Structure formats: C-alpha cells, structure tokens
Structure 1
C-alpha cells in the first residue's frame, strides 16, 4: 500500500500573504486541519500551516489573527511525500521528523496524507511489513543461490543478487527479525567452501 492509496485528495491551498483569520475561516469552511501554502513561483517551495501552528503561535499568545499572516507561522519548505512511497516509509518519515501530515506531491499537489490516514486506511494490521520482507528475503536467497550456480560466485549478477539479500536482511532486522549468527551470504559462502573441499577430497581419493 502506498501514499496515493490512502491520501486525502480534498486539500485546500492558501497564499502565504493571507491573514491567519482567512486561514481559520477556510479551515472551518472545509473542515480541515491543515492548509497547503502555495509556492509564489515555479522555483519556490510548498509550505504548510496547521491547526497546531494557529493554536500554539496565535491563540496561545492572544495575537490578532487579522494582523498575523500565514507566512508568520507556516512551515516552509515543508516535508513532502511522493505518491508512490510505501506506507511504512511514510510512517517512518513522520516518526523521524515529528510531523503529523504532509502534502503528497509529484510535479503538482495531489493530496495530503496524515497519521490519521495511516491509522484508518492503512493495511499494516492485516499485512505486517515483516512478514512481507521475510517472504521477499526467502525468494531473494533462492534466486541468489541459483544465479551463483549458473553464472559463478564472482559474477556481477551474483554479487548484485547477494547485495539485495543483504539489504533485505538489514531491513527485516529493522522491523524486528531475529539476527542470525551468519548472514545468508556468509552461510552460502561457508557451504560453498565446504562443498569445494569435499569435492577436492573425493578427487584426491579417486
């Protein structure tokens, strides 16, 4: 499941020069918790102003929303999410940055994704990432062994295949998989070495 599958397409934009009063009115009208601040030109970045910004930076200090502007309290540039980003990476991005929502952008604004979207629309309960990774890892190990047998242990294709195995093992470890004493690559190399020694012994005996 990716960002584009669970994002909220209903998103409102506002100019940075708009007043906070105008931002509040728009939020109330649309029933939104955040507004995306429009870039001023092609090379400019998107921004975001949230209900938290308004509450913490305006209401909490008794400031006049009519005299405060969006650019006074917004976050710019804001963290943006690619529509094809996998759900768990969106969640990890939120966790690492401490944000709760971000615009989904690919050349243009497509929507907005939030922690609420992840909780209510995500499939992480039905399809935990670790189970998926373990299946992918099992297949990658099988493929790497096959490629090694067909193209040789030192071939570029074999090295790339085992690099993928290493990457999947590391990611599975991040999600809680038990760390083995030896990596799959090390185990294979050890087995290959034993097989070679056994073969040599047989030839010498013969």
Structure 2
C-alpha cells in the first residue's frame, strides 16, 4: 500500500497569517497552485491553510479589497493534517469525509502537501486497488491461520492471534466496501470443523 509520503509534494509554498490576501493571490498565480499553507507563529502553534476557493468565496464574492484583507481573516486554522505514514486510500477517504481537496503532511514539522490531484496522478489505485490488496492479504492470512491451528492447538495464543488478524483485515475490507460479509472466514472454518467451536472463541480472548 502506498503511503502519503510516496505521493506528497515536498516543495510547499507557505505564507504568513498577517500577509495581505493580494500577496496570496500573487503567490498562487506565480506558482500555479491553488493552496498555501499558513506558517506557525511559534512551535506550539497550529498550521493553517488558505485556498483559491477561500479567496473567491470570502473576498471576491463580497467585493472586498484583497489589499486590505489579511490571510488570517479567511484562512482555516487549525487545518486537517496528514501523517506521512498514512495509506493513500485513508487520505482519500479523509478528504471525502471532510469535504476538502488538500492537506499538509506533518510529522513534527511540515514535510509536504497532498492534494486530490496527487492521489489521482501519483498513486497506484488503477493498477493495484486496495480492494484487491486486501482480498489477497485475507486469503494469505486465512491459509496461515489454518496451518498455525493445525500445528498448534486451537486454544493456543498463536491460533487465536492468527484468526484475529484475519478478522481485522476482513473488517477493514468491509469498511471500504460498506458491505458486511454474509459469513466471516472464521465462521466458515468453524462450520467445517464444528468440534472446535467451543475452543476457538475470540470474543473472550484479549491480546493484552
């Protein structure tokens, strides 16, 4: 699975919150970009963001003078941020749920920025969709779980952990597809081996 760090743009154009909106417009035109990250004023401060839509909706549409309006008046702060280790598909879902088109990538410091264009043009979702990746992983982990449970006992920690991993992957796949499976892999396994149904119970087992 590709990560946010794999597709982010590292050359981030920033602006001060006290700058005039006219300066933001000039930067966007010169750099041919739609978004600027608003710098922090101190280490404990949050990053902000200003987009071309903010300028159009809050300045142009109101007939305000961009040379008199400051960035801090129309920016979003704090803004939604992405961890560089986050999977691209999670970033896409976060964009969808938050109704945004871009976000800075931060881990202690500003590392880059990711937009919907980056996801569309740089990720591998066409040739290697997450759905296919998850299904492949699930099949592999099911086979591993069966082998582990045959090698050890069905009430062993190794067996329990193996099936828990399968169920976690199935839960993730269901989350993305918004479709609950009629039968989990474990349920199918217990139908095949009903005698272990009372032994292999994950609900009462805790890895911690």
- The structural deviation recorded for 1:194 is 4.6
Mapped partners of 1:162, 1:193: distance in 2: 16
Shift of 1:151: 3.0
Give CA deviations for 1:2-32 in whole Å, capped at 9, x if unaligned: 1111111221111111111121122222222
1:102 and 1:177 map into 2 onto residues whose CA distance is: 25
TM-score by length of 1: 0.88
Q: 1:98 to 1:195 in 2, by over 3 A?
A: closer
TM alignment of 1:76-95, pairs within 5 A: 76-95=77-96
The 4+ residue runs of structure 1 with deviation greater than 4 A are 177-180
Residue 105 of structure 2 contacts residue 112 of structure 2 at CA under 8 Å; is this kept in 1?
Answer: yes
Summarize deviations over 1:57-85 as a string: whole Å, max 9, x none: 00110111121111110011111111121
Write the distance in 2 (CA, Å) between the matches of 1:51 and 1:149: 60
- Look up the match of 2:125: 124
144-153 or 107-116, which deviates more: 144-153
Name the CA distance, whole Å, in 2 between partners of 1:12 and 1:180. 45
Q: Secondary structure at the match of 2:135?
A: helix
Larger radius of gyration: 1
Q: Distance in 2 between matches of 1:81 and 1:44?
A: 17
Greater Cα shift, 1-10 or 73-82:
1-10
Residue 65 of structure 2 corresponds to which residue in structure 1?
64
Question: Matched residue of 2:49: which SS?
Answer: strand
Residue 42 of structure 2: aligned partner: 41
Match of 1:103 in 2: 104
Note closer, same or farther for the CA distance 1:40–1:21 as it changes in structure 2 (3 Å cut). Answer: same
| Distance verdict in 2 for CA 1:139–1:55, change over 3 Å | same
Stretches of structure 2 lacking an aligned partner (at least 5 in a row): 198-208
Structure 1, unaligned runs of 5 or more: 197-206
- C-alpha separation between the residues in 1 aligned to 2:63 and 2:180? 54
* TM-score, normalising length: structure 2: 0.87
1:32 is matched with which residue?
33
TM-fit CA distance, 1:175 = 3.8
* Equivalence for 2:145: 144
For 1:50 and 1:107, the matched residues in 2 are separated by: 23
